[in-house]
Structure 1
Amino acid sequence: MGTESGADRVETITEYHAHVYYRPETKAEAAALREALGARFPVRLGRWHDALVGPHTQSMYQVAFAVEAFAQVMPWLMLHRGGLDVLVHPMTGDELADHTAHAAWLGQRLPLRLEALAPGR
């Protein structure tokens, strides 16, 4: 059979991350969404980042969840994110691809500082 090409290779997703973006005037809405996510789902809620971190060009917090929770968390986010923009991406071990080619946006697609992400990192 031979070796698999990159196109045939199945990536291993270890978990998902949702980045919930907010501005000062939407922080209360982001806090309510965060509280609801934590109460409804088995997620890990990351710290609030009012200052920009990593590739993110707007204030945000991260929500990490297991592969098995995707089918519950993603549809709920689609319906309950309000006016907030959310980036949802898998964790495959390739941060650049995960935040770009493998990413799904709910709301507006925000620019990312891709230089903060190394391929395969």
Structure 2
Amino acid sequence: MTVNAQEDIKEWHFHVYFMQDNVESKAKALELHAELERKTKSGDFVAVPLKTINFVPRGPHLIGSFETWVPIEYFATLYQWFLLNRQGLSILVHPLTREEVRDHSERAVWMGTPLPLDLSKLTTFLDKVPAQYPEYKLGYSKS
């Protein structure tokens, strides 16, 4: 089963990449992460940067990175915010569906320079859509 035109994508990930051994690149990423946390706590938008910042390659991501989850209700707001504030860092934007490989490749878009990914680390087809943060009652968890 694949996503079709009758199904809406309700949650997204933004992966911010940085050169983990470059002090300036790492500082920019940490600053973005901290600002995202502040804006979410203040209620400016709902976007959850994962607490874990990858200072080494992790999963399909071959350099330093961190992930931010956003429900569709705040997608445009976060997309615009990243466009204006990414500080030259590359950002992978992809939907969350049951098809991880397609989500990270043919369904993905990049802000900045596209970077290689190791798609062999991903699952081709998941049993269910990976709904995240149901406490917000947004995205796939909207009632």
Counterpart in 1 of 2:36?
Answer: 37
C-alpha distance in structure 2 between counterparts of 1:98 and 1:15, whole Å: 11
Shift of 1:28: 0.8
1:79 counterpart SS class: helix
Structure 2 partner of 1:3: none
d(CA) in 2 for partners of 1:62, 1:110: 15
What's the TM-score, normalizing by structure 2? 0.74
C-alpha distance in 2, partners of 1:10/1:92? 13
1:71 aligns with 2:67: no
Partners of 1:112 and 1:11 lie apart in 2 by: 26
| Matching residue of 2:12 | 16
How far the C-alpha of 1:51 sits from its partner, in A, is 1.7
Residues 9 and 17 (structure 1), Cα distance of their counterparts in 2 relative to 1, 3 Å cut: same
How many residue pairs get matched? 117
How high is the TM-score relative to the length of structure 1?
Answer: 0.87
% identity of equivalent residues = 34
Query: Match of 1:57?
Result: 62
Question: Helix, strand or coil: the match of 1:109?
Answer: coil
Deviation string for 1:4-55 (max 9, x for gaps)?
xx68543442311111111132111111111222222322121111121111
For 2:37 and 2:58, the matched residues in 1 are separated by: 22
Bigger fraction of residues in strand: 1
